[in-house]
Amino acid sequence: MTKNESTWWKEKAVYQIYPRSFCDSNGDGIGDIPGIISKLDYLQDLGIGVIWLSPVYCSPNDDNGYDISNYCDIQKEFGSLKDMKKLISEAKKRDIRIIMDLVINHTSDEHPWFIESRKSTDNPYRDYYIWRKGKKNLKNSSKVHQKPPNNWSSFFSGPAWEYDGTTGEYYLHLFSRKQPDLNYQNPKVLAEIKEILKFWLDMGISGFRCDVINVIYKTSLEDGKRRLALTGREHYVSQEGCHKILQELKRSVFSGYNCFTVGETVLVDTSMANDLCSSERGELDMVFSFEHMDTDHINNKWFKTKFKPDKFTKVLTKWQSCLDWNANYLENHDQIRSVSRFGNDSKYHLVSAKMLATLLLTLRGTPFIYQGEEIGMTNAYFSDMSEIKDVESHYVHNLAKKLHFPSSIRWKMIQKSTRDHARTPMQWNSQENAGFSLKGKAEPWLRINSNFRTINVERQTADENSILSCYKKLLVLRNSKKSLLNGSFFALPAPKNTYCFERELDNERCLVLCNLSDSQVKLTKLLQTHIKNGSILYSNYYRTTVKDLSCLDPYEAVILESNKGDAK
């Protein structure tokens, strides 16, 4: 393998598909693999090189596929293994590679391993999961009144342990109670996982997005010291045992294939992230961090605050500077829509979505575009809990009820932050159900966003000034400029609410200017000298020359190439 071949993923843009919501080929209201195949030409035309497929494995769908009951087969409603093979080969014809979601922190409680495991304490699969006796409650020693083995809490709120009557013990679940955590202190578990990885890599996939990969190894099960959310995290976040497992997987599986891995790594700082993905250590190829996503709330995502651009871009700069290569994203299936969050989804919908595209596609690293982001899909503005499907939202809503939060506050929390905002069906056209179902009239599994008649692929394909056309142009530009693909990153001092940075490689230098606010901002004298003589490569405001560029208009974005002789 030449050096270039082994790092091909540095030069591609990735497109994330949430299969349930992308395209429904058979009219049952649920997206599926044949539906994805029917849209490959669209993705090729968009200019992406990799698809990340959220889980398509067999699952009882407690958490929409993130609870897996068979790792080596496809969920019936999504299609079959035959469809999956076709997807891989049809994508390959269009120079698109597929990576899959690897969810190995937990399985579904309906996975045969867990069904066995819960049967008896001496079952051969017992140690595939983490079982413990409850703590005796001193006030009442009867079994029913025992307490969970420790004080850890689940990511979805509430205790991380579930009592199981069959054997009278508790099992650990860091996510929903239908997602029991696997036990990586048991070497048999890793041996099984390796076989699963080889099964898919041999089929022709090009890597994995590794779900909550940095919490798979629990060093101890002692009580956590924190009293707030995610109690116990010091015993499982980025532990030495996890690093060893990742090194082992790279050495014994991934290095044998021309593939890459991106870890979804929760609660990491830049130093932990470097340990997980620096090329010398041989673990992951890149990681998704959350710090920039944590800048618009207090404590956790359910308590949103006003978006402060400078707080956000300061975090981006930190990650750009501390890591050699970032997995850049502004959206995914767990986050609300970026244009509604960091831009403006009403008056400045068009320019602000283009500004965010400019930012995403010019930072150093591999960009990840989430389905619908390329047409500026917005939050859905649901009307009440009956429209919400997400398991996490229901957990949190129930907890808030138990804590006696007034119903209006409870609903506000969900309405602002539910993951369902990102999961409404893809808006293909202005026909029935936004063209989500290729045939039939079945109700989609989640309500369509009511703005589909104005925001959809068909309209934007026909319009060269649309958000979609902007993504296409920027992806072409990115591929044609070595500095944007692989150049260094350097943030310039910039006025409040703006973000200005340079990308440079050899003699090529690009400058990116973004205004993240809805007001006009005057550029500093220093920046003005900097851009003098530059030539415009992209503008979301039809700017063709730098001549009058002394202010940035609301949500304006400009990419320019600095010509030789510019002040550095």
- Under the binding rule (CB under 5 A), the answer on residue 275 touching Ca ion is no
Name the strands in the sheet holding 14-17, side by side, starting at the edge strand that comes first in the sequence.
286-288, 260-264, 207-210, 97-102, 50-53, 14-17, 365-370, 326-329
Selected range binding Ca ion among 11-19, 23-31, 95-103, 106-114, rule: CB under 5 A: 23-31
- Which are the contacts of 192, defined by CB distance < 8 A and separation ≥ 6? 113
Residue 382, interface with ligand ISL (CB under 6 A)?
no
CB of 272 to ligand ISL, least distance (A): 15
Among residue numbers 408 through 437, which ones bind Ca ion (CB under 5 A)?
none
Q: Which of 109, 169, 211, 275 binds ligand ISL (CB under 6 A)?
A: 211
Indicate which single residue of 113, 128, 155, 370 sits in contact with ligand ISL (rule: CB under 6 A). Answer: 155
List 23, 30, 48, 237, residue binding Ca ion (CB under 5 A): 30
Q: For the chain, what's the residue count?
A: 568
Residue 334 binds ligand ISL (CB under 6 A): yes
| 32 is an interface residue for Ca ion by CB under 5 A | yes
C-alpha distance from residue 222 to each of 232, 343, 383, 514 (Å): 8, 43, 42, 47
How many Cα neighbours within 13 Å face the side chain of 19?
Answer: 29
Contact partner, 175, from ligand ISL, Ca ion, none, Cβ < 5-8 Å per class: ligand ISL
CB 327 within 8 A of CB 286: yes
Say whether residue 181 binds ligand ISL (CB under 6 A).
no
Q: Name the minimum Å distance from CB 565 to ligand ISL.
A: 47
Q: Which residue in 17, 99, 210, 212 binds ligand ISL (CB under 6 A)?
A: 212
For Ca ion, the binding residue among 12, 18, 24, 288 (CB under 5 A) is 24
Q: Considering CB distances under 5 to 8 angstroms, the limit depending on partner class, which of Ca ion, ligand ISL, none binds residue 467?
A: none
Q: Report the C-alpha gap between 474 and 472 in whole angstroms.
A: 6
Out of 118, 301, 410, 481, point to the residue binding ligand ISL (CB under 6 A): 301
Give just the sign of the alpha carbon dihedral 272, 277, 278, 280.
Answer: positive
Least distance from ligand ISL to the Cβ atom of residue 264, Å: 6
Q: Rounded CA gap, 42 and 510, in Å?
A: 29
Contact window for Ca ion (CB under 5 A) among 24-32, 193-201, 246-254, 305-313: 24-32
**155 contact, one of Ca ion, ligand ISL, none, CB 5-8 Å limit per kind:** ligand ISL
Angstrom distance (rounded) from CA 335 to CA 319: 19
The tokens describing 367, both together, are 């960009």
Enzyme catalytic residues: 211, 264
Give which of 47, 115, 49, 103 is closest to 75, Cα–Cα.
Answer: 103
* Euclidean distance between CA atoms 411 and 424, whole angstroms: 18
Q: Considering CB under 5 A, how many residues would be counted as binding Ca ion? A: 5
392 in contact with ligand ISL (CB under 6 A) = yes
The tokens describing 111, both together, are 């996975």
Least Å distance, CB 392 to ligand ISL, is 6
Report what 553 binds from ligand ISL, Ca ion, none; CB cut-off 5-8 Å by kind: none
**Under rule CB under 5 A, residue 37 binds Ca ion:** no
Question: Nearest Cα to 152, choosing from 219, 228, 230, 220?
Answer: 230
Choosing among Ca ion, ligand ISL, none, which partner's interface includes residue 103 (Cβ < 5 to 8 Å by kind)? Answer: ligand ISL
Q: Which of residues 440-499 bind Ca ion (CB under 5 A)?
A: none
Single-letter amino acid, residue 341: R
32 binds, among Ca ion, ligand ISL, none (CB under 5 to 8 A by kind): Ca ion
| Contact set for Ca ion, span 221-240 (CB under 5 A) | none
Beta-bridge partners for 327: 366
Largest CA distance in the chain: 81
Q: Which of 373, 363, 368, 369 is nearest to 485 (CA)?
A: 363
Taking the least distance from each CB to Ca ion, the nearer of 28 and 62 is 28
Phi, psi of 491 (to 5 degrees): -85, 135
* Residue closer to ligand ISL (CB basis): 175 or 501: 175
What whole-number distance in Å separates Cα of residue 510 and Cα of residue 520? 23
Pick between residue 50 and residue 103 the one whose CB is nearest to ligand ISL. 103
- Considering the complex, state which of residue 35 and residue 49 has its C-beta at the smaller distance from Ca ion: 35
Residue 130: which of ligand ISL, Ca ion, none does it interact with, CB under 5 to 8 A by kind? none
Our CB check for Ca ion shows the closer of 9 and 78 to be 78
- Cβ 267 to ligand ISL shortest distance, Å: 9
Taking the C-alpha atoms of residue 361 and residue 13, their distance in angstroms, rounded to an integer, is 8
Q: Taking the complex as a whole, how short is the minimal distance between the CB of residue 524 and ligand ISL, in angstroms?
A: 38
To ligand ISL, the closest distance from the beta carbon of 212 in angstroms equals 5
* Residue where the block lists tokens 């979301």: 540
* Sheet strands (E) in 268-385: 286-288, 326-329, 365-370
556-to-305, 397, 422, 512 alpha-carbon distances in Å: 24, 38, 25, 11
The region of 16-24, 326-334, 485-493, 510-518 touching Ca ion under the rule CB under 5 A is 16-24
- Residue 223's binding partner, choosing from Ca ion, ligand ISL, none, with beta-carbon cut-off 5 to 8 A by kind? none
Which residues ranging from 47 to 106 are in contact with ligand ISL (CB under 6 A)? 63, 66, 103
210-241 exposure pattern, b = at least 16 Cβ within 10 A, e = fewer: bbbbbbbbbeeeeebeeeeebbbbebbbbbee
Residues interacting with Ca ion, by CB under 5 A?
Answer: 24, 26, 28, 30, 32
Residues interacting with ligand ISL, by CB under 6 A?
Answer: 63, 66, 103, 155, 175, 211-212, 264, 266, 301, 333-334, 392, 419
